[in-house]
Amino acid sequence: MKKIGIALLLILLPLVCSAQFIGVGAQYADAKNRGNDFQFAASLSFPTWHKKNPMNTFISSGIDYTGGSSPVAGLNIKPIQINSFLSESLFNNNPYTILVGCDAGYLFNFKNGKDGVVITPNIYLDYKFFFVKAGYDFNVTGNEQQFFVRAGLSFGMGSFKSYAKTEIW
């Protein structure tokens, strides 16, 4: 068991060290035909492709975990997250960050729902060490869906912008 823990630490350490966003907070989920649910939420994402482009778009990968009884809760491994800053001036001239994006991944649901491919269009806002993310989870495989609002503490772009002159490029 100790060897597995050490191996897992060595695998995850580079991901955490190069993370673009680490967040911990709570999520409110409103699932169709299942009611509402407040749940714990944790996120980690890191950049995989970020080159200068006219659409101010970048691609990242990550992991989300939400604990609760909503149908789209569990460990969501997201190999592709496409996000856009909307405009370079909006990002460079404001202390907050706004991103519009769409995530795609595979959900391992440990409680009430079904495992499957999940697509999540979303809007993300952060300021210093706080973030809010709202979106809609579609579990394509399990035919489940939910609206969510997630808020909490973060270490990411907003944190960096608080202490240094940060620009997209």
Distance, in Å, from the CA atom of 148 to the CA atom of 141, rounded to the nearest integer, reads: 19
Distance, in Å, from the CA atom of 135 to the CA atom of 43, rounded to the nearest integer, reads: 14
Predicted confidence (pLDDT) per residue in 23-59, tens digit:
999 999 987 766 678 899 999 888 888 777 777 888 8
Please report the domains of the chain, with CATH numbers, ordered by start residue.
Answer: 2-163 (2.40.160)
Judge whether residue 12 has pLDDT over 80. no
Distance, in Å, from the CA atom of 54 to the CA atom of 71, rounded to the nearest integer, reads: 38
Predicted confidence (pLDDT) per residue in 75-130, tens digit:
999 999 999 988 777 777 888 888 999 999 999 998 877 899 999 999 999 888 89
Helix%, strand%, coil% for the chain, nearest 5? 15, 55, 25
State the amino acid at position 44 in one-letter form.
Answer: L
Instruction: Give the CA diameter of the chain.
Output: 50
Q: Given the structure tokens 């006219």, which residue do they identify?
A: 54
Judge whether residue 4 has pLDDT over 80. no
Distance, in Å, from the CA atom of 162 to the CA atom of 95, rounded to the nearest integer, reads: 7
Contact partners, residue 15, CB within 8 Å, separation at least 6: 44, 46
DSSP structural state of residue 156: S
